Amino acid sequence: MRTAVLFILMLLSACSEGPSVERLGGPTMGSSYSIQYVREAGGPAPAQVQAAVEAILHDIDQHYSTYRADSTVSQFNRLPAHRCMILPKDMRELVSFGLHLAQLSDGAYDLTVEPLLRLWGFGPQARHEQIPGARALARAQQRVGYQHLRLEGQALCKDAPVQLDFNSIAAGHAVDLLAARLQAMGVTSFVAEATGELKAVGRKPDGSPWRIALQLPGPDRQMARRLYPVQGLSVSSSGDYRHYFEDNGQRYSHAFDARLGRPVDHDLAAVTVLDASAMQADGYSTLLLILGPQRAWAFAVEHELPAMFVTRAEGGFVSRATPAFERALKGD
């Protein structure tokens, strides 16, 4: 179920872009991906780029999809407590970053929320959304907690039957891999996007920067589009409008505070974060959405995060950006 989208991230294609700009895309991770790149003389053909891109996305699905029983994360999730499993290097790096975000947020952000997602109806085995009972919630919370994970060399170990969900950072990680592969193929100007996470590098053929359009709701609920040039930056948006259900007029989103075992309940509707790393932008946008308007703003300012916030207010919405957001767009 969806209502009007409050916060939209989209690419703009200028008329000045000639045939030297190649475009391709397709399905991935339950959504889609798109690539726009400037093809120089002797540069890779779209078929070559698409093959390279889809090979990366296939690997991401093989490692991180909880919808696949044979994925690496599903294999780890089936392990009982007090067991370890050797993981690929990039997956260990994602775990390490996830643990870092968990510590920074005092456990509000947590990679081990899979049992909660499933219980509330957002997981791969769920048949419908539901508000769980207190006993079921207590049982699920016994299998949640980043403190039950530890990295030992090339292995990840668990001392409780916790289960991982990488949806808050896997798409950003995929974009970082796509960007690195494009550059290795000699592509110097492109926009790589997967499930809404994106990274822009270089410029369009006319020398102008790639631009994004952020549709920000105003106090009168009218959408106002603001254009931003981006170069060498990744952009990630998280919002409570993407996946949610309603019960007796109450909205329950897929953004969970792991400490409470339930979806967040506050006035912060959406967050956009800029970063050189799409994975970091992805993770921080989720963390900020979980924290809520006051704590998220204080966190972003303290850590100098380039972030844009959209908050519900009486009669509409209010948007504001951190000083670091404006500086990042200027290249400072």
H-only helix segments in 65-133: 72-78, 89-104, 114-120
Question: Residue 45 corresponds to which tokens in the numbers above?
Answer: 């053909």
Q: Please write down the HEC assignment for all residues of 177-235.
A: HHHHHHHHCCCCCEEEEECCEEEEECECCCCCEEEEEEEEECCCCCEEEEEEEECCEEE
Tens of pLDDT, residue by residue over 139-183, are: 888 889 999 999 999 999 999 999 999 999 999 999 999 999 999
- Cα–Cα distance measured from residue 84 to residue 71, given in angstroms and rounded to the nearest whole number: 16
Spatial neighbors of 43 by CB under 8 A, at least 6 apart, are 185, 186, 187
Contact 163, 150 (CB under 8 A): no
Q: Who contacts 192 (Cβ-Cβ below 8 Å, separation ≥6)?
A: 33, 35, 53, 175, 178, 179, 182, 198, 199
Angle at 321 between CA 8 and CA 17, to 5 degrees: 50
Domains and CATH numbers, the chain: 73-158 (1.10.3980.10)
Cβ(286)–Cβ(270) below 8 Å = no
| Percentage above 90 pLDDT, the chain | 61
Residue 192 CB neighbour total at 10 angstroms: 28
Q: Tell me: the pLDDT tens digits for 255-303? A: 788 888 778 788 888 899 999 999 999 999 999 999 999 999 999 999 9
Q: Give backbone dihedrals phi and psi of 197, rounded to 5 degrees, phi first.
A: -85, 140
User: Comparing 6-15, 127-136, 205-214, 279-288, which segment has the lowest mean pLDDT?
Assistant: 6-15
DSSP β-ladder status, 155-158 and 262-263: unpaired
Gap between the Cα atoms of 322 and 310, Å rounded? 12
Which pLDDT tens digit goes with each residue over 4-60? 333 344 455 444 444 479 999 999 998 899 999 999 988 999 999 999 999 999 999
